[in-house]
């Protein structure tokens, strides 16, 4: 039996946003590998083995998935959102590069998904309508000095910014430091979008001016989008529309 490995994005939360390509791969799989809550999103069925593991064993998880595929299994490594955005695709390829030569000849596919960043932006309007960047605020795998450098340069370039992993119980201080830095660098009241649990029944969307943004408005289920100096708000009776115009002045 010829094995294969698909690295799949399950989207931001709603089953309606899982792509048909990913659904087809899940239907063909013999094994699902991933972080516990993501594996829990895959319905059990006869002939399917679920391999759930903790969030801090990405390389071990990737190596296990590759070994299964090398043994002839049809393996799907699941991530939320898109697997290539702060997720498992990079971990799998790190394991391929460091692992047995035979792993390089495996049938490995990356199946894209809708990221939390894009789902949150769509809920708010079009805050990423012009140039933007995405920054992971976790300093688990990089020094905080690098996070701060990238924040400063993003403000200098006047990007809209999307922040992944803004605040956890173990690291509550990072987002506070990021907000303090942004508030010191930006003289305007550009909008900040706090989009929590987007596309799930627990979804909440909150838009506040940057000077009023507070660390406790975010947790690990929150995507934070900070507008550029050009980002605008259209007030209306329902939730406001936040968008960044397509052009920038010379």
- Any domain includes 137: yes
Question: Can you give the pTM of this predicted structure?
Answer: 0.93
What pLDDT shows up at residue 107?
97
What pLDDT shows up at residue 173?
84
Q: How far apart are CA 17 and CA 68, in angstroms?
A: 28
Q: Are residues 69 and 40 in the same domain?
A: yes
Task: Look at residue 31 and give its three-state secondary structure.
Answer: strand
Q: Are residues 15 and 77 in the same domain?
A: yes
What pLDDT shows up at residue 52?
95
DSSP state of 18: S
Q: What's the CATH code of the domain at 147?
A: 3.30.950.10
Average pLDDT over residues 122-145: 94
**HEC string for 160-207:** EEEEECCCCCCCCHHHHHHHHHHHHHCCCCCEEEEEECCCCCCCEEEE
- Any domain includes 248: no
What pLDDT shows up at residue 122?
97
Q: How far apart are CA 23 and CA 163, in angstroms?
A: 28
C-alpha separations of 38 from 5, 55, 61, 84, 143 in Å: 17, 10, 13, 15, 27
Task: Look at residue 4 and give its three-state secondary structure.
Answer: strand
pLDDT tens-digit profile of 50-67? 999 987 899 999 999 999
Least confident of 52-56, 105-109, 131-135, 192-196: 52-56
Average pLDDT over residues 144-172: 91
What pLDDT band is residue 202 in, cutting at 50, 70 and 90?
very high
- Any domain includes 178: yes
The dihedral through the CA atoms of 136, 87, 111, 22 has a sign that is negative
Q: Are residues 73 and 135 in the same domain?
A: no
For 133, the domain range is 117-243
Q: How many domains does the chain have?
A: 2
Q: How far apart are CA 201 and CA 132, in angstroms?
A: 28
Residues in CB range of 143: below 8 A, 6 or more apart: none
Instruction: Give me the percent of the chain exceeding a pLDDT of 90.
Output: 89
Q: Are residues 180 and 78 in the same domain?
A: no
- Any domain includes 249: no
- Any domain includes 250: no
Average pLDDT over residues 225-241: 95
- 95, 114, 133 - which closes a domain: 114
Q: Are residues 57 and 129 in the same domain?
A: no
């Amino acid at each position: 039996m010829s094995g294969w490995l698909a690295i799949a994005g399950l989207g931001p939360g709603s089953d309606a946003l899982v792509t048909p390509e990913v659904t087809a791969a899940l239907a063909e799989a013999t094994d699902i590998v991933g972080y516990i809550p993501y594996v829990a999103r895959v319905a059990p069925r006869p002939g399917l083995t679920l391999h759930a593991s903790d969030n801090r064993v990405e390389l071990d998880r990737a190596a296990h998935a590759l070994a299964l595929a090398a043994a002839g299994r049809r393996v799907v490594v699941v991530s939320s959102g898109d697997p290539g955005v702060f997720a498992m695709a990079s971990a799998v390829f790190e394991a391929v590069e460091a692992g047995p030569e035979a792993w390089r000849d495996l049938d490995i596919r990356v199946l894209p998904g809708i990221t939390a960043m894009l789902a949150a932006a769509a809920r708010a309007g079009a805050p990423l309508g012009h140039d933007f960047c995405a920054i992971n605020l976790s300093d688990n795998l990089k020094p905080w000095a690098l996070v701060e450098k990238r924040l400063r340069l993003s403000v200098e370039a006047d990007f809209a910014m999307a922040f992944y992993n803004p605040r956890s119980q173990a690291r509550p201080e990072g987002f506070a430091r990021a907000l303090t830095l942004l508030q010191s660098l930006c003289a305007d009241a550009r909008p900040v979008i706090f989009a929590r649990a987007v596309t799930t029944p627990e979804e909440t969307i909150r838009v506040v001016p940057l000077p009023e943004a507070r660390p406790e408005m975010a947790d690990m289920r929150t995507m934070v989008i900070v507008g550029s100096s050009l980002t605008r708000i259209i007030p209306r009776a329902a939730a406001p529309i936040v968008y960044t115009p397509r052009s920038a002045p010379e």
